[in-house]
Chains A and B, each alone.
Chain A
Amino acid sequence: MEERGFMVIGEELPRVDAEVKATGEGKYVSDIQLPGMLYGKILRSPYAHAKILNIDTSRAERLYGVRVVVTAKDTLGKKFCIHPHLANNLLLQDEKVRYIGDQVAAVAAIDEDIAEEALDLIEVEYEELPAVFDPEEAMKPGAPQVHKEANNIVLHTRREFGDAERGFSECDVIVEGRFTSPGVAHCCMEPRGCVAFFEFNGKLTVWSTTQAPHPLRQDLADVLGLPISKVRVMRAHVGGGFGARFPMDAIDGIASVLSMRSRKPVRVINTRDEEFISSRIRYPMVIELKTGAKKNGRLWARQTRVVTDNGAYNNHGISVTGNATARLSQLYAVPNIKFESFVVYTNNIYGGAFRGYGNPQMTFAMETQVDEIAERLGMDAAGLRLFNANRPNSGTVSGCKITSCGLPDCIEEVVEHSGWKEKRGKGRGKHRGVGMALMIHGGAGIKAYWGKDCNMSAAIVKINRDGTVDLYTGTGEIGQGSDTAMVQIAAEELGVSLRDINIVSGDTDTTPPCCGAWGSRQTFTAGNAVRYGAADAKQQLLRVAADLLEARVEDLEARNGRISVKGSPERWVSIAEASNESYANRGTPVIGRGVNDDPWSDVIDPKSYYGNYNSAYAFAAQVAEVEVDTETGIVRVVKLTCAHDVGRTINPSLARGQVVGGVLSMGVGYALLENLIRENGVVLNGSFQDYKIPTALDVGEVECIFVESRDVNGPFGAKGIGEPTMIPTAPAISNAIYDAIGVRVRELPITPEKILNALREKGKHNPR
């Protein structure tokens, strides 16, 4: 990677949308109010599993102010899913409901109160069916059948890399355990919602809380039977995503159908109650894991059996499970791997993508066992990790080609900054401990969208006559700061300042396609597209400037708004002059085009699972320091020391925001607090009063270290950071708890009750 002084890359610049958010001017979907707009509400199933015998909407239709009531018969009945071959969800269910909260009918009325009242007047005749809530029960013969698949098994996978049996036979120490991960709610502060307006020219415009505008456009076109050109997904600010907001949610299609039937703009916004009972969750998993190592500490074999609660409908279940099992061979490049996974329907709320995409569940299990092995071998857990850590330009038995890798540096950084050597194993008397965990994750997205082989982003860069820039990307800005990162990348490449760039993102009518914000992909994949587009525009400017300066294109450089001859800074023209010359005098406005179709990764082979599925890999090491109150079981996370290999830091403030937020707002919650408790399909803690997320009183200190491994293919060397931040937090905390009090809890979240039970079992609990 060429080294030179950057102008904006690596600078701590405020986000481009900061002012409009600080002043409350920024409009979110629920702020959009169109003339004549109606308010929609969704009737949801009160049963976990039932046949729909009849729906009578006549009373609701007669209520004053109701404009339209829709059921399945008002839709095309097209099934949808991110994996099209597994599609079995409908905008409105026709024959059966399969979980409490399932959508049955919808109303649009002149105000929300009337719409709510109308829901009560819709008469649905149900025939209740036996239901099943535990995936391991659902797999047994004779269990209630949720869909057509036998034993409710959507996918049963068995794979082996290397020779697991032989691998284990060569191990000197083997540990085994069963780990469970609960349903976790995203709790985006903005509930999901959609404003849809279908006009007489057949054009549907949608403002949605989406993190992937172009895929949503495609999904809506499919499910509504419209040409793609007749669907416009528009930008609004989005109040958090974390995976919850892709692909299409039924609410987007329902709002659209209500607008198409009423010929009015319609807004549908979930209440928080609806968010808790009917939006996506982190897939609950039961993971049985076995890890073996040789006596020198080399991790040599791993075997797992995973059962994923797929919930009532197919969504990301198979790929989240695939992503979880993929980590077995990747982290520490363990050479002998065997895994078996079951993705199983139940009558529970169904899961979705959630920061980490199966990796937090598996990393919790893997990294707990690494500590157990270190203890059995009498080795330092950090030393054992460093010995086994992935290295740059290395491979795995499953076909990964790791290029940039700063994992060893991450370990050394957290050891130093956490005071590991002084603290590890020394705080048990005071119930204080430190624990470490590592992670590997894709840092560039994966070829998974639009069929199975697409991980693409495109950008258009238009230079105005005055030298300012319009940058068009199809990316999803959901709060993570993607717009700012894209602007910084374009500014650096073009040699202009941040304020000279106007970004247009997420409006599908004006921006080029992009798969959106998922898989920690936008910085790398969309960032490359933006860089290519800016480079294309720059070349056009340089050609004009070469004429004006009577110089050769290859002798020119663009910096600080000027194009100058390298080595002769006094010979220059401004970018504005060059642009104006091209635009006005030559009639060729400068328009750059950038496309990144991710040429460096393989398409997933569903038969072998062998291949290199990520163009770049992100790495991290975290150390948690905890204090446990053995009287109450309460764990206080005193400090988290986090080192992340981000390739290159585009903006330290944004990157730190991802780390601190991922660790404190989510990782600590996942480790200690969060569990969407369901009993017979009923959510028991569906409010912020009962479902605890971390507050300002709960968060401790975070120290953030960025390791810059300079990825060979990343834009200026950068790779993804969004998901990785929360992946190692839970096992780091769990390992720290063991260091503090000598008990392990393998069921997340690690609540005070579980700690006290574990202490009691160990006979260590001595109340006065």
Chain B
Amino acid sequence: MRRELKLRVNGEDYILGIEPHRTLLEVIRKELGLTGAKEGCGGGECGVCTVLLDGKAVKSCIMLAMDARGKEIWTIEGLARGGELHPLQRSFIEHGAIQCGYCTPGMIMSAKALLDKKPNPEEREIREAIAGNFCRCTGYLSIIEAIQAVSDSRKLV
């Protein structure tokens, strides 16, 4: 039985008819075609499905889409604007923080949640913010550096 759901994703409104047991990840990937958020475990353990919900990083694979009603959702697809990459995206590229890329969208969204709240975090806070985002390729150091570089450049502004 499908129910109506109004979602606001990346600044745009959607009116959908969805089955109430669908997760937010299923809906943004399948109904909206936003496949940047990935499924890695389906249990909220690995973080490749991370999106922002009212500014907070959430694991969209364990959240019901219905519970996102009325919230502001941002996915990786919403970051680059007007043909310009987001500073975090640029920094990940410049710091070699991307290998297979499967964890990248979730990792960047977790980093964005942190920096939006705390523009100049300590290294420890960066590590904690991405502790729920697994990466099997990079060993994390380049990712931590990429996030630090964005916070440092903000310090200069």
Binding site for B on A (CB under 8 A): 14-15, 17-19, 21-28, 30-31, 33, 186-191, 237-242, 271-272, 478-481, 653-654, 656-657, 660-666, 687-689, 693-697, 699, 701-702
Contacts and interface: CB of A to CB of B under 8 A. Distances in A.
Contacts of A699: 139-141
A239 B141 contact: no
Given A21-B98, A695-B132, 10 more contacts: A14-B93, A30-B39, A189-B38, A240-B102, A272-B41, A272-B43, A656-B96, A687-B41, A687-B43, A699-B139
B100 A240 contact: yes
Contacts of B30: 33
B142 A657 contact: yes
A26 B101 CA distance: 8
Contact of A665 (B43, B48, B135): B135
Shortest beta-carbon contacts, A-B, top 6: A24-B36, A479-B100, A664-B139, A21-B101, A239-B102, A24-B76
A237 B96 CA distance: 17
Contacts of A688: 41, 43, 45-46, 134
Mostly, the B contact residues are loop
Contacts of B93: 14-15, 18-19, 22
B113 interface: no
A693 B139 CA distance: 11
Nearest to A14: B93
A23 B36 contact: yes
B138 A665 contact: yes
B32 interface: no
Interface stretch (B65-73, B77-85, B149-157): B77-85
B122 interface: no
Interface string B9-40: 00000000000000000000110011111111
B52 to A, nearest CB: 13
Contacts of A663: 139
Given A190-B40, A689-B45, A480 B99 contact: yes
A687 B41 CA distance: 8
Contact of B101 (A191, A237, A664, A695): A237
A237 B103 CA distance: 12
Contact of A23 (B76, B133, B135, B143): B76
Nearest to A477: B100
Contacts of B101: 17, 21-22, 26, 237, 239, 479
Interface of B: 29-30, 33-43, 45-46, 48, 75-77, 79-80, 85, 89-90, 92-94, 96, 98-105, 108, 126-128, 130-144
B138 A661 contact: yes
Nearest to A669: B136
B136 A666 contact: yes
B131 A689 contact: no
A620 to B, nearest CB: 16
A23 B138 contact: no
B137 A240 contact: yes
A453 to B, nearest CB: 31
B138 A660 contact: yes
Given A272-B40, A657-B142, A688-B43, A22 B108 contact: yes
Contact of B102 (A190, A242, A666, A695): A190
Given A18-B98, A189-B134, A702 B76 contact: no
A478 B99 CA distance: 8
A33 B108 CA distance: 25
A266 to B, nearest CB: 16
Given A657-B138, A665-B139, A687-B43, A22 B38 contact: no
B100 A23 contact: no
B150 to A, nearest CB: 13
Given A18-B93, A189-B102, A190-B100, A24 B77 contact: yes
B98 A271 contact: no
24 contacts: A14-B96, A18-B98, A22-B85, A22-B92, A22-B108, A24-B36, A24-B75, A24-B104, A30-B35, A188-B136, A189-B102, A191-B40, A237-B100, A240-B99, A272-B41, A657-B138, A660-B139, A665-B139, A666-B136, A688-B41, A696-B140, A697-B131, A699-B139, A699-B140
A239 B138 CA distance: 12
Contact of B35 (A18, A31, A694, A702): A31
A736 to B, nearest CB: 18
A481 B141 contact: no
Nearest to B45: A688
Contacts of B126: 696
Which residue of A240, A662, A701 has the most chain B CB atoms within 10 A of its CB atom?
A240
Given A14-B93, A697-B131, A22 B98 contact: yes
A191 B37 CA distance: 14
A656 B89 CA distance: 20
A652 to B, nearest CB: 9
A82 B103 CA distance: 30
Nearest to B102: A239
A23 B89 contact: yes
A14 B98 CA distance: 10
Contact of B38 (A30, A660, A687): A30
Contact of A189 (B33, B76, B108, B135): B135
